[in-house]
Structure formats: structure tokens, C-alpha cells
Amino acid sequence: MDERERLIVALDVPSFEEAEKIVKTLGDEVIFYKVGLQLYTSAGPQVIKYLKELGKKVFLDLKLHDIPNTVAETVSVASSYNVDMMTIHTFGGFEMMEVAQKRAWKPDGNQVILLGVTILTSLDQAFLNDFLGVDRNLKDEILQLASLAKSAGLSGVVASPNEVRDIKLQCGEEFIVVTPGIRPEGYDSMDHARSASPKEAIIMGADYIVVGRPIVQSDDPLKSAREIQEKIRNGLSQRP
């Protein structure tokens, strides 16, 4: 893997024009981009087509959660756009994940990396216990969901940096973990209850890190991206 691919820049902007501006600014420094609900609702497949024509990789982060057939059909349509990664919710259950995985085939014959969303990084132990009524502690619940995703055939999960090592131990090193909520040192964690710096996340074993506002809203997005890429390289060199 090209080390630059480990940084996924979240295009959390409201329009295609703003996304295009960011991608042009970042140039070759960034290979992988996340298209989430906001941008996809605004620009739809247009933004995916644009990124693929530039030779970029696309992480379509729609966090699908519906009845199995609806999710499977949606995954099939999204796969036809040649996206490289996409997300579904593990809380949708084993059957939903299993049938979705079977439909995750790109036009080139390769499978889309289908990731299961475990517990959003904006949520904490209190939410799990008080709102969902789940008695397990947060990490145990995430490990349970990760195991369920692996059993259903998914390639990996989305989880906070805090859980990466345990997920790798339980599900294997080849099981992909993508970590959102990444904040450079000194940057406000904002709405992420469980966050880490780029270097910390990579040392913990994250395969990919997702960074949005620290780059997209930076006064100098290219400089910020370069600094984070350097942190990723440093983190890789310090892995156990």
C-alpha cells in the first residue's frame, strides 16, 4: 500500500464545487477521500465520478442501516460506481451484513471493502448503558460487533483508535480498522468523545485514519495534509 493512502480526507462540505476546490488544492498529497451523507446528498454520484476520473480512491460513508434487501440493493448500486470502501451499520444484524457483502462487487471484478460501523466516536459509555440499555462496557460491545461483522464476511470495521489493538487481537491483523475522530495535537476533539492524534492512531494499529476539519477547514489545507502524512510515517516507524 502507498503510505499516502492511509490518510482519508473527509470531504464534509455542502457542495461539489467546495469539494472540487479541496481536491485540487491537495493534489497528489492525498489519494483517498471520504464522501459522507452531506456531500452525497448534495452532489450524488457526480462527486464519485469526479474523484475516480482523477485516479483517487473513494470511501463512501453512508452508514447504511435498513432491512437486508434494501441495504443489499443499495450496496450493489454504490459498488457499480467503483467506490473502494463503504459503510453499513453492524446494528443492522448478521443477515443484513452478510447479504450486503455478497453484493459488494465493483465493475472490475474486485470487491468493495465493506466496513461495519461499530459505536460512533461521538458516543460514550453512558449512551450505551442509559439509552440503548446494553449492560456490557463500551469496548466489549465494540469487540462483539466487530466479531459479528467478521463472521458475516465484512473486511473490517470503523472504530475509534482506543479499540484498534483489541479488535486486531480478536479478529486478526488482516481485519481492517478505519479510525475516525482523528485530531492533531492541540486540536479540539469537538463532537468526538473518543479521539486520538494521527500518530497515536497509527501506532495503535489503525489501517486508515479519517481526517476532516483539521484539513478541510485549515487556512492551509495542503500544509496540514503534509504534516499529518508525516505523522503517519512516524507512527508506522514506531509500531511494535
Q: What is the pLDDT of residue 119?
A: 77
> For residue 181, what are the CA distances in angstroms to 47, 82, 100, 162, 200?
23, 26, 26, 11, 12
Grid coordinates of 31: 489519494
d(CA 41, CA 144): 32
Q: What is the pLDDT of residue 192?
A: 45
Give strand ranges (E) for the chain.
7-10, 32-36, 57-64, 85-89, 113-117, 156-158, 176-179, 208-211
Of the options 3.40.50.720, 3.40.50.800, 3.40.1800.10, 3.20.20.70, the CATH number for the domain spanning 3-237: 3.20.20.70
User: Taking the chain (240 residues) in consecutive chunks of 10 residues, what is each chunk's mean pLDDT?
Assistant: 95 97 98 97 97 98 96 97 97 96 94 91 60 68 93 95 93 96 67 71 96 94 96 93
Active-site residue numbers? 63
Can you spell out the DSSP letters for 81-129?
A: TT-SEEEEEGGG-HHHHHHHHHT-B-TTSPBPEEEEE-S-TT--HHIII
d(CA 223, CA 170): 37
Q: Where are the domains of the chain?
A: 3-237
- E strand or H helix that includes residue 46: helix 45-53
Q: What is the pLDDT of residue 176?
A: 98
Q: Are 189 and 121 in contact (CB under 8 A)?
A: no
Q: Are 57 and 33 in contact (CB under 8 A)?
A: yes
Q: What is the pLDDT of residue 196?
A: 82
Q: What is the pLDDT of residue 138?
A: 77
Q: Are 30 and 5 in contact (CB under 8 A)?
A: no
Q: What is the pLDDT of residue 233?
A: 96
Grid coordinates of 158: 470503523
